[in-house]
Amino acid sequence: MTIGDLFVSDWSSGSFTGAEARQTLDVWTAAFGQQTARDILGALTGALATLPAQTASDRIVSARVTGWRLIADPEGDALHGVLDVRLRLHPLGV
């Protein structure tokens, strides 16, 4: 598994300050097939529920999977799974 692209945008309103972080998590399986890739993506999805309620600087308002996809390796040797995750955050002390 590798941590892929990160995109952070403003999620503030007139009454609070916040940020939305979108992160991709990438997994590869070699010769194990689609079910193994789906199982790994499912385990990562389940792990989101175990995130702490806050980090050193932010309170995690929500963490959810916004989508996933399986991409066949052009050479047929592996399967690439991509999990798209969205975190909504409020800074602590603000």
pLDDT band per the 50, 70, 90 thresholds, residue 28 = confident
pLDDT tens digits, one per residue of 39-88: 999 999 999 989 999 999 999 999 999 999 999 878 777 888 999 999 99
- Rounded distance, CA 52 to CA 89, Å? 12
pLDDT at 21 (0 to 100): 96
Other Cβ atoms less than 10 A from the Cβ of 35: the count is: 9
pLDDT at 35 (0 to 100): 85
* pTM attached to this predicted model: 0.84
